[in-house]
Amino acid sequence: MRELPQGDALLQYAREILRKEIIPALPAEHRLTGFMIANAMGIAARQLHNGDEQDYQELVELQKLLRTLGHEPISSSPAPDSQSEGLQSSPILSHTALQQELTVLNRQLAKLIRKRELKDQQALVFSHLEHITAIRAAESSG
């Protein structure tokens, strides 16, 4: 177990100090840079807090979507299924492998979209993309 506070809380605390104490003391020409750094710290803190759980859920949803669309997901390693529990506490894939799997499957979906092979299933694809976009936007702007 790590010492408390953990990384995400430390980043949030440092971000608050930056926003409340340091940025107001900066010359005007450097304040925008200070706010950009504070924003990046906020995103990093949320990502640390969330871990890879959202990416695992995206992977599972993408696999299901591709199968529903009649295409077997292209994969270079075994991936979690919808019955997996405790993904964050017991990762099935390393963070890097998870990102690689997501990249491959998102490219596979993009290729299907570009080929215009999904006429009867556009609503499913749109729903998936809308859901993933909402999750990513929440993490970026929280």
Q: Residue 92 is which amino acid?
A: I
Q: Let me know whether 88 and 111 are in one domain.
A: yes
The answer to whether residues 12 and 31 belong to one domain is yes
The alpha carbon of residue 104 and the mean position of all alpha carbons in its chain are separated, in whole angstroms, by 15
Please count the structural domains in the chain.
Answer: 2
Question: Using one digit for the tens of pLDDT, what is the confidence trace for 59-92?
Answer: 999 999 999 988 888 876 654 444 444 344 345 7
pLDDT value at 5 more than 80: no
28 shares its domain with 79: no
Rounded mean pLDDT, 42-60: 88
Sequence-distant (≥ 6) Cβ neighbours of residue 49 within 8 angstroms: 8
Task: Look up the domain containing 72 and give its range.
Answer: 53-141
Per mean pLDDT, which of 17-21, 81-85, 134-138 is the most reliable?
17-21
Q: pTM for this one?
A: 0.67
What value does the mean pLDDT take over residues 83-112? 76
